[in-house]
Amino acid sequence: MKTLANLKLIGISTLLVAGLAACDNTPPGPAESAGKKIDQSVENAGQKMGEASDKVATSMAEQSNKAGAVIDDAEITTKVKAAIFAEPGLKTLQIGVDTVKAVVTLSGSVDSQQNSDRASALAGAVSGVDRVENRLAIKAGN
């Protein structure tokens, strides 16, 4: 919406500048000072449009970074799950994997401390993982 308003402002300013250019042969006076004011207004409008476009570009870059982080987290989760599944003794166990901002959280249960430690080590070895929070419970009786 701001873009449409800015475009209207540019259009009006352009028409005013064109009108003043046609009256260029008039002697200096009130028209000249009005022309200077219009020129200043056009310049200010251009600066405001530049600032607005900079803000839009910054906002788009921030949104892109956020989307990239979500994609990276999903990729990390997939890689950690694949590593755990490929590990003999862990693939049949109930291990949940969640990743937020490159921090992997393991949840569920395993049958031994050794398997808990192994799952944590596998998750930590995946590229892009900053930290692993191991919340795995050890099943009693095994």
Domain ranges (residues) in the chain: 2-66, 68-138
CATH code linked to domain 68-138 = 3.30.1340.30
Give tens-digit pLDDT for 93-103.
689 999 999 99
Cα distance between the two ends of the chain: 64
pLDDT of residue 64: 60
CB 124 within 8 A of CB 132: yes
Both tokens of 50, joined, read 């530049």
pLDDT of residue 104: 95
pLDDT of residue 90: 81
CB 36 within 8 A of CB 42: no
Greater confidence (16 vs 88) lies with 88
Give tens-digit pLDDT for 54-112.
676 676 666 666 655 556 889 999 999 999 998 888 865 689 999 999 999 999 999 89
